[in-house]
Chains A and B, each alone.
Chain A
Amino acid sequence: MRIAILGFGSVGQGIARAILAKNLNITVTGLADSRSGVIDAGGIDLAAALARKGNGDPCGTPGVSPADVVAKADYDVLVEVTPTNVETAEPALGHIRGALRRHKHVVTSNKGPIALAYPELRSLAEANGVVLKYEATVCGAIPLIHAIKEGLAGNAISRLYGVFNGTCNYILTRMAAEGLTYEQALAEARELGYAEADPTYDVEGIDAAIKLVILANTILNMQTTLDDVERTGITLLTPDALRLAEDQDCTIRLIGEIVPKAGVLRVSPRIVGKAHPLVVEGTLNAVTVETDLAGDLTFIGKGAGSMETASAVIGDLLYIHDRYVQGS
Chain B
Amino acid sequence: MKLEMKDRPGQLVAALQPISAVGGNIIVVIHQRETSTAAETLDVQIVLELPEGRLPSLLELLREQGVSVVRIGEERLLYECTLIVIGHLMHTDLSDTVDRIDRTGSAEVTGLSLAMPAINSPSSARITIRSTTRTEMKKAIGILRGVAEQKELLIIEPLEGA
Query: Is there a chain A Cβ closer than 8 Å to B117's Cβ?
Result: yes
Query: Is there a chain B Cβ closer than 8 Å to A185's Cβ?
Result: no
Given known pairs A238-B124, A271-B83, the reply for A255 and B159 (CB within 8 Å) is yes
Q: How far is the CB of B6 from chain A (nearest CB, A)?
A: 49
Q: How far is the CB of B96 from chain A (nearest CB, A)?
A: 21
Per a CB cutoff under 8 Å, which of B87, B113, B121, B158 touches A244? B113
CA separation between A328 and B7, bound complex, in Å? 91
Q: Which parts of B92-131 form the interface with A (CB within 8 Å)?
A: 113, 115, 117, 121-126
Number of B residues, CB within 8 Å of A: 20
Inter-chain contact B113/A271, CB cutoff 8 Å: no
Inter-chain contact A268/B124, CB cutoff 8 Å: no
| Prevailing SS type, chain B contact patch | strand
Q: How far is the CB of B135 from chain A (nearest CB, A)?
A: 15
Between B87, B117, B156, the greatest number of chain A beta carbons within 10 A of the residue's beta carbon is seen for B156
Query: Is there a chain B Cβ closer than 8 Å to A84's Cβ?
Result: no
- When C-beta atoms are compared, the residue in chain B nearest to A232 turns out to be B154
Query: Is there a chain A Cβ closer than 8 Å to B86's Cβ?
Result: yes
Q: Which parts of B139-162 form the interface with A (CB within 8 Å)?
A: 154, 156-159, 162
Q: Which parts of A283-322 form the interface with B (CB within 8 Å)?
A: none
Query: Is there a chain B Cβ closer than 8 Å to A236's Cβ?
Result: yes
Contact with A along B62-105 (1 / 0, CB 8 A): 00000000000000000000111011000000000000000000
Q: How far is the CB of B15 from chain A (nearest CB, A)?
A: 39
Among the stretches A68-76, A91-99, A245-253, the one at the interface with B is: A245-253
Inter-chain contact B158/A270, CB cutoff 8 Å: yes
Q: How far is the CB of A288 from chain B (nearest CB, A)?
A: 10
